[in-house]
Amino acid sequence: MELTLDNIPIFAYTGGKSFDRCLPVVVLIHGAGHDHSVWNYQARKLAHHGYAVLAPDLPGHGRSGGEPLSSIEALASWIETLLDAVGVPQAALAGHSMGSLVALQAATQLQSRVTRLLLIGSVAPMPVAAPLLEAARHDRKTAHLMINQWSYTPASQLGESPIPGMSLTGLNTRLMERQREGVLATDLAACNAYRNGLEAARSIRVPTALICAERDQMTPRKAVTPLREALIDTPSGVHMINIKSAGHAMMAEAPDAVSDAMRSFLERA
């Protein structure tokens, strides 16, 4: 699906189905240095089970034009602009890693326009290690190696994959390589600078799920505690979902488990 927002071309994947705003809408927000393709499996599952899916390439990423936005707040406002552009009054928001911060902040800004919130591989705050920030600015190849090492389980790094014959770390490397120069550094800096996450979480008034991977090194379960506690006292509380035997890149390492968790939460909520 191709759109124009503020005179900038934007691409959004719709899961292989024509976008129908009359169906329950789910917006899938990708993480740092990525694009819509990290959601391919989940987007198709949702689109073929009664949902209208929008998995956009954020500005400056993938097939979308413009420059990458430099703050989580700006990205959240952009999500609102996207919903306005496609004529969607309400939507569920799902975000992975950086995308989870965008979804969280957008839910705060959009209030009643958000129906459900799914935070996948999320912590708040989300500090980024100084060596990774430095590598993203000056040595992308090293940054990509660091991200693969921390995002995937040892088995995946040795070649295990739910898709026979496919290297998950190889695919992720190519995905990051095809992003424009400076995109990863801008995204990681935005994550590192965002300090409003816990305050935003305390304002949430919709059913919320925290989907955590058992072997996540980037946003480990013990680091999720402050965000969980900020959400647990809200009127809707928080539903914790654990994805076994997967790391931070859980949508690729455990595609069925993540898809099932998302559908189950959306339907139950």
**Of the options 3.40.50.1820, 1.20.140.10, 3.30.450.40, 3.40.630.10, the CATH number for the domain spanning 2-127+194-268:** 3.40.50.1820
Asked whether the whole model's pTM tops 0.95, one would answer yes
State residue 269's pLDDT score.
56
Report how far residue 127's alpha carbon sits from residue 61's, in angstroms, rounded to the nearest whole number. Answer: 22
Cβ atoms of residues 262 and 94 within 8 Å: yes
State residue 150's pLDDT score.
97
CA distances from 120 to 20, 62, 124, 185, 243 (A): 25, 21, 12, 21, 10
For 44-49, which contacts have Cβ atoms below 8 Å and span 24 or more sequence positions? 44/15, 44/16, 45/15, 45/259, 45/263, 46/15, 46/259, 46/262, 46/263, 46/266, 47/14, 47/15, 47/16, 47/17, 48/15, 48/16, 48/17, 49/263
- Which residues of the chain fall short of a pLDDT of 70? 269
Cβ atoms of residues 70 and 183 within 8 Å: no
Q: Within its chain, how far is the Cα of 231 from the centroid?
A: 18
Parse the chain into domains and list their residue ranges: 2-127+194-268
Q: Give the pLDDT confidence of 206-230 residue by residue, as tens digits.
A: 999 999 999 999 999 999 999 999 9
Q: Within its chain, how far is the Cα of 199 from the centroid?
A: 20
State residue 233's pLDDT score.
82
Q: Give the pLDDT confidence of 178-196 residue by residue, as tens digits.
A: 999 999 999 999 999 999 9
